[in-house]
Amino acid sequence: MKRTWTIIGVADVPKSYRWYQSLLCLSETVPAHDYFGQIVDSDGTVLLCLHKWGAHEHPSLISPDDAKPGNGLLLFFRVDNFNVALTMARTLVSRLEEEPHVNPNTGTAEFSLRDPDGYYVTLSALNPA
């Protein structure tokens, strides 16, 4: 099996770490470093990596000023607790980017919001509506 580790640049790793754990209804833990953290599912699967802008010499993570964060990127999560995630999402943001609806391509309910750094995040039910 092969897995990808999606890494996004963020302004505040601990803040974004708590935000994603809340959104995805994961147990609260702390990131390994103030400059890098991995959002991990209960089975140990890495769902998302958070990297502080400018913490290292990675060319695409130097500064959010070089490109708009999230341009061309959609963070898409399939969740088995859709209604719980929706309730949590409404406590994390003042408004959703897309209200819950059934995606005609997947047949699953989904909604979208922006994370603290402006990334576009979509959560989709694991099973069809």
Mean pLDDT, the chain, whole residue set: 93
Q: Which CATH class for the 7-56+69-125 domain?
A: alpha beta
Residues 52-87, buried b or exposed e (16+ Cβ, 10 A)? Answer: bbeeeeeeebeebeeeebbeeeebebebeebeebbe
Q: What is the pTM of this model?
A: 0.90
Mean pLDDT of 16-34: 96
- Mean pLDDT for 59-84 is 85
Looking at residue 98, its pLDDT comes to 97
Domain ranges of the chain: 7-56+69-125
Sheet holding 109-114, edge to edge: 74-79, 120-125, 109-114, 98-102
pLDDT higher at 58 or 127: 127
For residue 6, give the DSSP letter: -
Q: Is 94 helix (H, G, I), strand (E, B) or coil?
A: coil
> Mind listing the pLDDT tens digit for each residue in 109-126?
999 999 999 999 999 999
Residue 69 has pLDDT above 70, yes or no: no
Residue 42 and residue 38: Cα distance in Å, rounded?
12
DSSP state of 57: -
Model confidence over 38-66: pLDDT tens digits? 999 999 999 999 999 989 888 888 888 87
What residues form DSSP beta bridges with 37?
A: 50
